[in-house]
Amino acid sequence: MTLTTNKSILDWIDEKVELVKPDSIVWIDGSEEQLEELRKQACETGEMIKLNEELLPGCYYHRTKPNDVARVEDRTLICSKKEEDAGPTNHWMAPEKAYKMLYDIARDSYKGRTMYVIPYSMGPVGSPFSKVGIELTDSIYVVLNMAIMTRVGKKVMDAFLDDSNDWVRGLHCKCDVDAEKRWICQFPEDNTIISVNSAYGGNVLLGKKCFALRIASYQGKNEGWQAEHMLILGIENPQGEVKYVCAAFPSACGKTNLAMLIPPEGYRKKGYKVWCVGDDISWIRKGEDGRLYAINPENGFFGVAPGTNDKSNPNALAATKKGTIFTNVARNLDNNTVWWESLDKNPPVNAEEWTGIKTNGVEWKAEGKNLAHPNSRFTAPTENCPCLSPEFENPQGVPISAFVFGGRRAKLAPLVYQSRDWNHGVFVGATMASETTAAAAGAVGVVRRDPMAMLPFCGYHMADYWQHWIDIGKTLDPDKAPKIFNVNWFRKDDDGNFMWPGFGDNLRVLEWIIKRCEGEVDAKETAIGYLPYAKDINLEGLEGEVTEESLEKILDVDKELWKEEAKGIEEFFAKFGDKVPEELEESLATLKANLDK
């Protein structure tokens, strides 16, 4: 039984069936009965393990092959017709060559397997922002994850026009999970994604990075909207007014934590609340009132487990307590629950680490080994999140007051600054950078430029993407355009200690940002943009940790360091030749001139 009579969809599926030759075909209708049946099957084959129903109701455990635990950027290709359209920051292959290579790998690979056809919607079904995709997969794990991360099934097809060709084709073939033949290919001009030889989330949940960022960024350029690697949060003041902020950070900068921030006690007592609309991706377009509105196209959180605990992010932890799939974490065999580094201080003694080795967790840790993989994940429904915004399902999205960029800079960037205007804000985003941490392989403290946190996710030429930002700005009335800011929670003193407490206290900075957007507070004009006066950041309740004096230091702009930074930016821009928008070149020239004053 099919769920649509849309000919473009049915023809494409027929073609792919012919290629991969499944034994049977199952359409995912989104019903709880069908999903429950699939969970049962996955448990029977060992693909998943049911966890303790009392402690973690509806939760399952899965492990991937050890060679398949993360996104693979050097095997992620943008297959545009022209190489120059992929740009210098993407890996590229000509579409003809890529299709042939992928079809040769995929051919007959579903023999003895079932093809699952997943119709899914990115965004609330029927919202003007939303887009439809069809993912074909031979993995029940993928089906069950997609059913959490997106809206799936009959309701999606029922709302989809019979003659529409505006849908994204996605073919996933697990094959043998051979790392040498693993490819994640986006064909932006064909609305097509093909992923082979992986079963790791970021490579196979095609709605997420592949569609909602790489393909969607390209669609957005052509259709006048934006797909961004941004969280969305709402800040409610004691009067009940909510202002929304979109923020982009490179990995390991606490994006999910900021998205689910818990206000400091003093703020909570006054009645402040923070609402999470999304933790990873924003789709943004202009509303009828001329303001920019954003939706979170996803329906779940695919979060990194290690580091998530009661202190760092109680809301994310709460979201994982039911209906969640855990991947590559450790298992506590005494009570059939899960554990990961820093969840608490008590690794299970009777444990199974992430590859399945039975071990005494305490001894294992004493040997300096991880029980959970550092990139182990939870796939949790957004509806579980205690601070999920009541506007989460709003088909019109939420109005954005500010865009916030940020990174990890030990010495350079001040706690917060505001760009002079939209174009300067685009420059701030385009030149975003973060210092590498010990969490990733390679040297520590090296500056890696990651424009708008989109480096691995932009589906076309990065300089054209910057131009798109500039062009969007031209369509906005400056009074209605979101103001653009940069934050740095990671400034260190000369002894290497963090100078700002971070976490919930970041609300103090967000409060200043909102006040700036509302024109309620003055700022100091500096070489890099507008900075707060220290007195304007509320430090109530932070006594002893941060004083107005130490705040001055976190807000300091060291001109010599910034001159170095300007050189780094110049080198970075050189990679893009004459494609860098003139507005960004002008911002660089202004920065240099300001620093020489």
- Catalytic positions are 253
Residue 492 interacts with, from ligand OXD, Mn ion, none (CB under 5-8 Å by kind): none
Name the residue whose CB lies closest to Mn ion.
Answer: 280
Q: Which option in Mn ion, ligand OXD, none does residue 228 bind, with CB closer than 5 to 8 A by kind?
A: none
Please report, as ranges, the residues that interact with Mn ion according to CB under 5 A: 280
What is the crossing angle of helices 462-474 and 216-223, to 10°? Answer: 40
Confirm or reject binding of residue 406 to ligand OXD (CB under 6 A).
no
- Looking at beta carbons only, is 16 or 214 nearer to Mn ion? 214
Residue whose C-beta lies closest to ligand OXD = 280
* Phi-psi region at 290: left, alpha or beta (left = phi > 0; alpha = psi -120 to 50): left
Neighbours of 356 (CB within 10 A): 10
Cβ 298 to Mn ion shortest distance, Å: 10
Cα–Cα distance for residue pair 132/166, rounded to 1 Å: 7
Amino acid in the structure at residue 147: A
C-alpha angle 217/221/225, rounded to 5°? 80
Quick check: helix, strand or coil at residue 268? helix
Closer of 202 and 234 to ligand OXD (Cβ): 202
Tokens coding 540 = 């109530």
Indicate the helix (H) or strand (E) that contains 25.
strand 24-27
**Tokens at 170, concatenated:** 């996605």
- Contacts of 589 by beta carbon, 8 Å cutoff, 6+ apart: none
* Residue closer to ligand OXD (CB basis): 71 or 420: 71
What are the residues whose beta carbons fall under 8 Å from the beta carbon of 334, sequence distance 6 or more? 348, 349, 350
Closer by beta carbon to ligand OXD, 16 or else 229: 229
Task: Work out whether 254 is an interface residue with ligand OXD (CB under 6 A).
Answer: no
Q: What angle do CA 208, 211, 213 make, to 5 degrees?
A: 75
- Measured CA to CA, the distance from residue 307 to residue 252 in angstroms comes to 10
CB of 100 to ligand OXD, least distance (A): 29
Nearest approach, Cβ of residue 70 and ligand OXD (Å): 8
Residues 189-218 contacting ligand OXD, CB under 6 A: 202
Q: Which of 29, 280, 298, 353 binds ligand OXD (CB under 6 A)?
A: 280
Q: Which does 202 bind (CB under 5 to 8 A by kind): ligand OXD, Mn ion, none?
A: ligand OXD
Pick the closer one to ligand OXD by CB: 187 or 249: 249
Restricted to residues 49-108, the positions that interact with ligand OXD (CB under 6 A) are: 71
| Residue 251 touching ligand OXD (CB under 6 A) | yes
Q: Identify which of residues 30 and 297 has a Cβ nearer to ligand OXD in the complex.
A: 297
d(CA 530, CA 159): 47
* Comparison of 106 and 212: residue with beta carbon closer to ligand OXD: 212
* Residues near ligand OXD (CB under 6 A), total: 4
Nearest to 157 by CA among 149, 167, 147, 148: 167
- Asked if 261 contacts 236 with a C-beta cutoff of 8 angstroms, the reply is no
Which of helix, strand or coil describes residue 32? helix
What is the maximal distance between C-alpha atoms in the chain? 72
Beta strands in 299-452 (DSSP E): 300-304, 325-327, 330-332, 337-339, 351-352, 358-359, 377-381, 398-406, 416-418, 433-435, 447-449
CB of 204 to ligand OXD, least distance (A): 13
Task: Summarize as ranges the residues that interact with ligand OXD (CB under 6 A).
Answer: 71, 202, 251, 280
